[in-house]
Amino acid sequence: MNSIASPFPDAAAVIVAYRNLNLVGGERVPVAAGLDVLNPATGAVLGQAAASKAAETNAAVEAAKAAGAAWAAMPARERGKRVASAGRALAEHAELVAQVLARETGKAIRTECRGEVAVSADIMEFYSGLGSELKGETIPFNPRMLTMTVREPLGVVAAIVPWNVPLVLMMLKIAPALVAGNTVVVKASEEAPFATYLAAEIVMDHLPAGVLNVINGTGPDCGAALTAHPDVAKITFTGSEAVGETVYKAAAERIVPASLELGGKSPMIICADADLTKAVVGAISGMRFTRQGQSCTASSRMYVHDSLYDGFLAALTAKLDRLVIGDPLDEATDIGTIINAKQAKVVADYVAMAEAAPGAKVVRCGKMPEGAGLSPDLFAQPTLLLGLPEDHPCVQNEIFGPVAVIQPWSDYEDVIARANDSRYGLAATVWTQSLSMALDATSRLNAGYVQVNQNLTIQPNVSYGGFGRSGLGKEASLEAMLAHFTRSKTIVMNFD
């Protein structure tokens, strides 16, 4: 393989090098057809990535299958050591990977991209130590028989990732899958594939050929071929609710397990006794304003107690006004661009819908950037929507932009009911100084990841995953590795 050990001079060289390629069987494999990847900040073509069809997708699955037996036979701790060294190598190349990521996602290099690479390497380090936790049980079935369970890898795992946090979401899949003895085919996001390729190739350098493979293409051509492949034993998907449904149907047709990390519309409840300063900071990080709100976990429904409502709004707008929207590569930038024109229109349409609602108010914060070459249509100001009824589409649907709904509340029972009035159930936060209120609210909120007085992103060792239409299964933990990347075999031995 044309190894990553001969480093690329810069991000532009990476994008050129991965033109119309897949990474399959330890090789850079040319693909006949390509698709344009745009620079979200300018709208210009950034590079061309592979547009894999069924034939190229099948080749990747075959390579993963061929590598499977030897990888599964390797002692689990040895697999973990390979994953550990791969994670260290990723950390060594962090700046280059972050530079590529910023160019293709439009996320700001300082506030988002460097952190994403660091978390990705941390996830690898976390999972690398868990090989010895792939334990089964002995069962007291009959004292004259040995009855036990053992954990086995599943086989070829298809890992499908979106564009918003592509590296972290890829690592949450490949690190546990590999340590558990599976081989993997990653389907990169066609909107932002290059950093995924670079990070994966750095990892591949530490693995036998074919254990990890990366392909790119559109959902209907490449993703669908992958989920339909008879040798794919497990599908792990992160993306939208609509595509998640399609992927789950494909898994059902072949009766293979699927884990789904989908969208969200997560509530943030600020109680009368909350620390207002901390809550405002938490609202900005929780809504992921520096990621243009493009986060499944975004605290996009903020329920603020009547007594704090005016102060909260004033402090939040003042802080948001100070965030710099601009060129993702500029170190001064806090907020970059929306991923593409289509998504920018979705965001603008939701805001227009809110503006048209009787009694509603729209507060736009910050200033649109004016830099030369920047495409103004692709930037969006942090926007707060006030005075909307609970059944309004802006309150019910995931907007996936820097748009938060702010709702006052006075009755605790009512706010819990409003927070739970959602088809999603990914995350929730509660802000209070009262332990009893925190215990009560956390037990009643219908969400898979509930935090009190903080708004952290995904953390290794802390199980993460949603309820309802937010998906199925967990990521980021030992529980996730055992539940989603192994199967349990029961063995009963009788030598009587």
Active site residues: 261
Angle between helices 166-179 and 114-128 (to 10 degrees): 10
Strand 258-261 and strand 471-472: pairing? antiparallel
DSSP secondary structure string for all residues of 16-83? HHTTTEEEETTEEEE-S-EEEEE-TTT-SEEEEEE---HHHHHHHHHHHHHHHHHHHHS-HHHHHHHH
Please state, in angstroms and rounded to a whole number, the distance separating the CA atoms of residues 159 and 249: 16
Query: What phi and psi values does residue 219 have, to the nearest 5 degrees?
Result: -60, -55
Q: For residue 299, which of 119, 449, 463, 117 has the smallest C-alpha distance?
A: 449
Is the separation of the CB atoms in 57 and 222 below 8 Å?
A: yes
Region from 50-58, 137-145, 159-167, 480-488 binding ligand NAD, contact rule CB under 6 A:
159-167
Q: Which of 187, 305, 469, 484 binds ligand NAD (CB under 6 A)?
A: 187
The minimum distance between CB 475 and ligand NAD, in angstroms, equals 7
Distance spanning both ends of the chain, measured CA to CA:
54
Strand (E) or helix (H) holding 450:
strand 449-452
**Closest distance to ligand NAD from the beta carbon of 190 (Å):** 5
Q: Which of 30, 75, 220, 373 is in the footprint of ligand NAD by CB under 6 A? A: 220
Q: Which of residues 338-367 bind ligand NAD (CB under 6 A)?
A: none
Residue number with CB closer to ligand NAD (437 or 447): 447
CB 494 within 8 Å of CB 144: yes
Size of site (CB under 6 A) for ligand NAD: 32
200 near ligand NAD, rule: CB under 6 A: no
Stretch that binds ligand NAD, among 67-75, 145-153, 213-221, 283-291 (CB under 6 A): 213-221
Q: Which CB, 84 or 225, lies closer to ligand NAD?
A: 225
CB crowding 178-198: b at 16 or more within 10 Å, else e: bbbbbbbbbbbbbbbbbbbbb
Considering only residues 449 through 488, tell me which ones interact with ligand NAD, judged by CB under 6 A: 466, 471
Between 366 and 466, whose beta carbon lies closer to ligand NAD? 466
Closest residue to ligand NAD, judged by C-beta, is 219
Q: Is 163 among the residues that bind ligand NAD (CB under 6 A)? A: yes
Coil/strand/helix, residue 184: strand
Tell which one of 34, 176, 263, 402 touches ligand NAD (CB under 6 A): 263
| Options 23-31, 67-75, 261-269, 431-439: segment touching ligand NAD (CB under 6 A) | 261-269
State the Cα–Cα distance between residues 374 and 367, nearest whole angstrom.
14
Residue 223 sits in the site that holds ligand NAD (CB under 6 A): yes
Answer for the pair 286, 458: CB distance below 8 angstroms, yes or no: no
The answer to whether residue 328 forms part of the interface with ligand NAD (CB under 6 A) is: no
Each as own residue / partner, the long-range contacts of residues 245-254 (CB below 8 Å, 24 or more positions apart, any chain) are: 247/160, 247/223, 248/472, 250/224, 251/227, 253/228, 254/228, 254/230
- Binding to ligand NAD by residue 86, rule CB under 6 A? no
Note whether 189 binds ligand NAD by CB under 6 A. Answer: yes
Binding mask 231-260 toward ligand NAD (x if CB under 6 A, else -) reads: -------xxx--x--xx-------------
Question: Minimum CB separation from ligand NAD for residue 144, in Å?
Answer: 48
d(C-alpha 183, C-alpha 71), whole Å: 7
Residue 363 to residue 368: CA distance in whole angstroms: 14
159 binds ligand NAD (CB under 6 A): no
Q: How far is the CB of 220 from ligand NAD (least distance, A)?
A: 5
Residue written as token pair 């107690």: 305
- Which one-letter amino acid corresponds to residue 211? V
Nearer to ligand NAD, 165 or 445 (CB): 165
Smallest separation (angstroms) from ligand NAD to the CB of 125: 20
Told to check if 287 binds ligand NAD by CB under 6 A, we report: no
Please report whether residue 262 would count as binding ligand NAD according to CB under 6 A: yes
User: Whose Cβ is closer to ligand NAD: residue 176's or residue 219's?
Assistant: 219
Which of 11, 160, 171, 180 touches ligand NAD (CB under 6 A)? 160
User: Residue numbers of the site for ligand NAD (CB under 6 A)?
Assistant: 160-165, 169, 187, 189-190, 218-220, 223-224, 227, 238-240, 243, 246-247, 261-264, 296, 398, 400, 426, 466, 471
